[in-house]
Amino acid sequence: MRLTMTVVLVMNSSAAAPALCYQVSPGSSITGRIRVPGDKSISHRAVILGALASGSVAVTGLLEGEDVKATIAAFRAMGVVIEGPVAGGVTIHGVGLHGLQASAEVLDLGNSGTAMRLFSGVLVGQSFRSELDGDASLRRRPMRRITEPLSAMGARIEATTGTPPLHITPVSGLHGIDYVMPVASAQVKSALLLAGLYAQGQTRVRELAPTRDHTERMLRGFGVKLSVAAGKVAVQPAQRLHPVNLAVPADLSSAAFFLVAASLAGGSNLLLESVGVNPTRCGVLTILQSMGARITRLHEHQVCGEPVADLAVSAAPLQATDIDAEAVALAIDELPVLCIAAAMASGTTRIHGAGELRHKECDRIAAMVAGLQSLGIEIHEHRDGMTIVGGRLQGGQVDSFGDHRIAMAFAVAGHLAQGPVQVRGCENVATSFPGFVEIACQTGFVIEPYRI
């Protein structure tokens, strides 16, 4: 069945600047062969560990999104020479664990919660003062989840209101701790492991639910002594990080928008190349396949310790499912677009244990509930999740609240809706997916950007 729709994505930048809009024309099947940009989580970590290495590190496939550019700019402000990025390639001339210099200015990390939290782990071990700040969205993100355990390690890190800006004062030394994380968060885990490189004694982090392990994999690649067993990760202080060259796989979180679109649009047949399929990231694949999605892994191999595969997806009728807390932890960034899949699946999907969604770039539970209701879907909001009754997406207006993943999720909804959809506040799409319009058009979307 051919689907017809028009989508307008309105992007808010500032009060003075005209808003960028996307006019998305009707389309049907999603087809072709594409490669989405590099993995954002791995890209951040590649730049951070590359800057701390004792020598030069070449990185290919780096995401050239605004978040990663903010990480690069911050290290340049602290004296690290970084060449590029050019076509996803950078060369980072690492200065060693203790070679960073005080920045003359506040380190502005833009919209990136990942950078804010991981930088904190690095900077509490330095001999100079630092201040970390970001945009209005980042200033609403909770930071006590890192300031409290870092303070327990002896750090002096302050967030006056519990949110950015963060003020870091040097201390004579850090000490390792044994920390049980109350919230499943790879960012918190990574911040503590990075601080542990500068601490005396072992730093151990215990997880109540599994989270992304990109930091652990990459630390090992740089020669750091690390032990991982049954929800426990322990790191020893390091003298140096050995420089290695890195290749960043395509981002599964970015691929997820096309996996859902191709699963739901009749006649679709799409291949996504060289996507990272780390087991701690594959919740979106598991959930979609439990709903009946036809997704096949091809040419599986390893790239710099990360599993990679081509993903072939074709259209299939989807059935409702239950997404519990354990599944949420492995698909936290993909839940917005999974809500679109649930909105068109047969039956009622229940999501619970997803309270962390309220602390992302926006309250993603509230944003998805409001947006899907405006598109005619029966959806009920809960403290830590949603109940979504599958139906047919209608035209309407949606606000993404400046959240890149909400914006792209509703772009997928618009491709599948029965009438025009307007999505407001999507300026930050470039933070994680530069070139979204061009790549989407390759698959069958027709998007015309304009400003109002």
Q: Are 231 and 361 within one domain?
A: no
Known catalytic residue at 178: no
> How many whole angstroms separate alpha carbon 144 and alpha carbon 27?
45
Query: Does a structural domain hold residue 1?
Result: no
In this predicted model, what pLDDT tens digit does every residue of 213-248 receive, in sequence order? 999 999 999 999 999 988 899 999 998 999 999 999
Q: Are 75 and 111 within one domain?
A: yes
Q: Are 358 and 394 within one domain?
A: yes
Q: How many CB atoms lie within 10 A of CB 199?
A: 22
Q: Are 270 and 241 within one domain?
A: no
Tokens of 75: 């290290």
- Looking at 200, 224, 247, the residue that finishes a domain is 247
Query: Does a structural domain hold residue 67?
Result: yes
Residues 39, 67, 333, 403: which is the catalytic one? 333
- Looking at 247, 270, 287, the residue that finishes a domain is 247
Query: Does a structural domain hold residue 338?
Result: yes
Instruction: For 75, list phi and psi in degrees, rounded to 5.
Output: -70, -35
More confident residue, 357 or 7: 357
Q: Are 118 and 135 within one domain?
A: yes
- Whether the pLDDT of residue 15 is over 90: the answer is no
CATH number at 103 reads 3.65.10.10
pLDDT mean over 23-38: 88
Q: How far, in whole angstroms, is CA 304 from its chain's centroid? A: 20
Query: Does a structural domain hold residue 270?
Result: yes
Query: Does a structural domain hold residue 2?
Result: no
| Residue 366: pLDDT band with limits 50, 70, 90 | very high
- Looking at 247, 268, 295, the residue that finishes a domain is 247
Domain that holds residue 332: 7-38+250-451
Instruction: For 396, list phi and psi in degrees, rounded to 5.
Output: 160, -170
pLDDT mean over 417-424: 86
Q: Are 225 and 263 within one domain?
A: no
Q: How far, in whole angstroms, is CA 66 from its chain's centroid? A: 12
Q: Are 189 and 284 within one domain?
A: no
Query: Does a structural domain hold residue 178?
Result: yes
Q: Are 203 and 254 within one domain?
A: no
What was the pLDDT predicted at 6? 39
What was the pLDDT predicted at 184? 86
| Residue 108: pLDDT band with limits 50, 70, 90 | very high
pLDDT mean over 270-275: 98
In this predicted model, what pLDDT tens digit does every residue of 195-219 receive, in sequence order? 999 999 999 999 988 899 999 999 9
Looking at the structure of the chain, the number of domains it has is 2
> How many whole angstroms separate alpha carbon 362 and alpha carbon 402?
7
Q: What single-letter DSSP state applies at residue 417?
A: S
Q: Are 54 and 146 within one domain?
A: yes
Tokens of 446: 């027709």
Q: Are 332 and 445 within one domain?
A: yes
Long-range CB pairs of 385-388 (<8 Å, 24+ gap) are 385/323, 385/350, 385/351, 385/352, 385/353, 385/354, 385/355, 386/339, 386/350, 386/351, 386/354, 387/348, 387/349, 387/350, 387/351, 388/320, 388/339, 388/342, 388/343, 388/348, 388/349, 388/350, 388/351
Query: Does a structural domain hold residue 139?
Result: yes
pLDDT mean over 309-323: 98
In this predicted model, what pLDDT tens digit does every residue of 129-179 receive, in sequence order? 999 999 998 999 999 999 999 999 999 999 989 999 999 999 999 999 999
